[in-house]
Amino acid sequence: MRFFFLAISLVFANLTNAFEVEERAFFGNQTGKSKLSIISTADIKYFAPMIELFLERYPNYGIDYSVVSSTDVMKVMYSKKTSYDLIISSAMDLQVKLANDGFAKTYKPNIDITIPSWSIWNNMIFGFTQEPAAIVISKTAFKHDHFPRTRQELINKLRENPDRFKRRMGTYDLRRSGLGYLFATQDARATETYWRLTEVMGQLETNLYCCSSNMIEDVVSGEIDIAYNVLGSYANNHPLSDKYVVIYPSDMTTVMSRSMILPTSSGNERSAKLFIDHVLETVFVSSTQRTMYNLSLSTYEENSLNRIKLGPGLMVFLDQFKKQKFLAEWENAILQTEKR
């Protein structure tokens, strides 16, 4: 009987919580008093090195790291049921909304080095990466051809070989991925070619994914040849990255900044602050971390980069009118077959 209730309550709990933890890992000393629970959109293997560096410095700490989607981050915070000590997300617009709505605590980092102005917004959001959106193309796909360097070139290539690439493309499902929506809206804002490309991708029955890692896996496994608007950082760090080419479109490359928020509901404020300080110090001082999180993009023309800026402008596309309209247009373009 007890089990039944437990099972029911678990189901109910899950239902009411209505969010899905994709991955969860425990680092360090879970029994001590120093604890930190992090809710993040970054894959564990992507962020683990940073956590390990932290634990080298503060060995008594125990870190509980949960990976969820960016939309689920919002659900967790707005439901106010579970409290976390740190939020890490790549969906800059959602981070801004969280902070603007009053879920973030202000904190002035307690470190000696000067932090660049793009990194911190209102002392509430702390960006620590510069990750471009890339086009990942399987090396097998374009063996003899030139790889497209711009969106227009890609459109041309796709139009020239429709049969070659039918169902062989992948991109973010904007309805499910906050980062995907962010990249798409930035594309639409900054380029004239976005809708045309989307139109073409729809005609080619492009597959829709929730996450970059899945897209990259499918390129590696040969399921798809081209992944559009994939996180360049993930692409570069994949062990089998030699199987594909990572292209940053020279007409415009969107660069997003992954960021941290100290939620007002945190129970371990001090620990969270320590962690924030640690991350900022690490990325803005150490060169190895820099390259890992792509803070220098000197090899690319600054003019072609659209570094997304943290700020209330990002909330525009979250406006329900605007979002409805955008999503409607996007669905219209990308879902052209009965596969809706």
Partner 1 sequence: MKKPIVKGSIKRRLSALLTIVAAIIAIFLYFLIQSVSRQIAQSSQDNILLASATSIIDSSRFNKGELSIDLPYSSLSMLDTVTDERVFYSIKLDNKFLSGYKFLPKADAFETNNIAYLSGNFLEQNVRVVTVKRFFSISGQPVALEVSVAQTLNGLTKTLANTSRASLVVGVTFFIIAAVLSFILARSAVNPLARLTRSISKRGPKDLRPLATSVPTEMVPLVSSLNSLMLRLEKSLTRSEDFITEAAHRVRTPLTVVRAQAEIILRHLDKPKNRKHIKEIIRAIDESSRAAGQLLDHAMVTFRADNLVLEKVNMNQLISDTVERLQPVADLRDISLQYQFFCQANVVGDTILLQNALYNIIDNAIKYSPVDSTVHTTMLSSKKTYIEIKVNDTGSGFTLDEPSRLIERFKRGENVEGIIGSGLGLTIVHEVIQAHKGKLEIENLVGGGACVSFFLPSH
Residues that bind partner 1 (CB under 8 A): 99-102, 121-123, 189, 309, 311-313, 315-316, 319-322, 325
Smallest separation (angstroms) from partner 1 to the CB of 87? 17
Minimal distance, residue 254 CB to partner 1, in Å: 14
Q: How far is the CB of 251 from partner 1 (least distance, A)?
A: 19
Min separation Cβ 71 and partner 1, Å: 19
> What CA–CA distance (Å, rounded) separates 102 from 106?
10
**Which one, 69 or 191, has the nearer CB to partner 1?**
191
Beta carbon of residue 201, minimum distance to partner 1 (angstroms, whole number)? 24
Considering the complex, what minimum distance in angstroms separates the CB of residue 7 from partner 1? 38
Of 121 and 244, nearer to partner 1 (C-beta) is 121
Q: How far is the CB of 170 from partner 1 (least distance, A)?
A: 28
Q: Which CB, 245 or 305, lies closer to partner 1?
A: 305
CA distances (Å), 17 to each of 9, 11, 81, 113, in order?
A: 11, 10, 8, 40
Q: Which of 100, 233 has the CB closer to partner 1?
A: 100
Q: How far apart are CA 228 and CA 213, in angstroms?
A: 12
Widest pairwise Cα distance in the chain:
66
Residue closer to partner 1, measured from CB, 154 or 276? 276
Residues 173 and 293 sit within 8 Å (Cβ to Cβ): no
**Which of 80, 322 has the CB closer to partner 1?**
322
Region of 8 (left: φ > 0; alpha: ψ -120 to 50; beta: rest) is alpha
- Cβ distance 118 to 309 under 8 Å? yes
Which CB, 81 or 325, lies closer to partner 1?
A: 325
Instruction: With beta carbons less than 8 A apart as the criterion, state whether 68 and 39 touch.
Output: yes
Q: Sort strands 62-67 and 23-28 into parallel, antiparallel or unpaired.
A: antiparallel
Q: In sequence order, what are the residues at sequence separation of 6 or more whose Cβ sits closer than 8 angstroms to the Cβ of residue 151?
A: 191, 193, 194, 197, 249, 251, 252
CA-based Rg of the chain, rounded to a whole angstrom? 21
Shortest distance (Å) from residue 99 CB to partner 1 = 7
Minimum distance between the CB of residue 264 and partner 1, rounded to whole angstroms? 10
Give whichever of 6 and 328 is closer to partner 1, judged by the CB atom.
Answer: 328
Q: Which residues contact 3 (CB under 8 A, 6 or more apart)?
A: none
294 vs 255: CA distance, rounded Å: 10
Q: Which is nearer to partner 1, 162 or 312 (CB)?
A: 312
